[in-house]
Amino acid sequence: MSSLIFVGIDVSQARLDVTFTDGQMWSVPHDESAMTTVVEQLAALHPTLIILEATGGLEIPLTSALATAGLPVVVVNPRQVRDFARASGLLAKTDALDAKILAQFGEVMRPRPRPLPDTEARALAALLTRRRQLGTFSDFTQTHRERIRDTRPCSLKCHASTPQYRY
């Protein structure tokens, strides 16, 4: 291996596909013991950068474990990686190829590792996201209620006139 080691890890519910820019690859089950093994093996290699794609939260435990071990890890936007793959002519869609593309993306684009938000910051972000979703749903419900054209004495409008809570 060269002195610069870039590692792409594709995280799915079932597996972790790990690929290096030199073509070496391996796949392990996505469970706690396998994650520990991955972290230990990568720590021994002293990689330049480990690149994961944001996958709706599946990447968080592994990213946290890598960062806790002091490894340089970055979680990148899936759209950036998809655009990079398209520009590189790599259109096939498999987990192993995704990991390879992530490693190549890291080598070419060199995204900067960022510190992970702590547990409290992630919990607060999740609460704020949920608050925004509830506000949007509340607006939708209000608009829907205003457009009901029902002439019956007590219809959906009657039931829908319960107190409003703004989020």
- CATH code for the domain in which residue 96 is found: 3.30.420.40
Largest Cα separation within the chain, whole Å, is: 78
| 71, 50 Cβ separation under 8 angstroms | yes
Whether residues 146 and 64 share a domain: the answer is no
Q: Token digits for 98?
A: 């995704």
124: which DSSP letter? Answer: H
pLDDT in tens, 33-67: 999 999 999 999 999 999 999 998 899 999 999 99
Asked if 13 and 90 sit in the same domain, the reply is yes
Q: What is the pLDDT of residues 117-130, one digit of tens each?
A: 888 988 898 899 99
Q: In terms of domains, do 48 and 88 share one? A: yes
Domain total in the chain: 2
pTM for the structure as a whole: 0.75
Element (H, E) at 74: strand 73-76
Residue 98 pLDDT > 80, yes or no? yes
Interval 145-149 mean pLDDT: 74
Report residue 113 as tokens: 């590792």
Give how far Cα 41 sits from Cα of 26, 38, 66, 70, 107, Å.
11, 5, 11, 13, 20
The 8-class DSSP code of residue 89 comes to T
What are the φ/ψ torsions at residue 59 (nearest 5 degrees)?
-80, -15
Q: State whether 12 and 47 are in the same domain.
A: yes
Identify which of 23, 5, 2, 6 has the alpha carbon closest to the alpha carbon of residue 103: 6
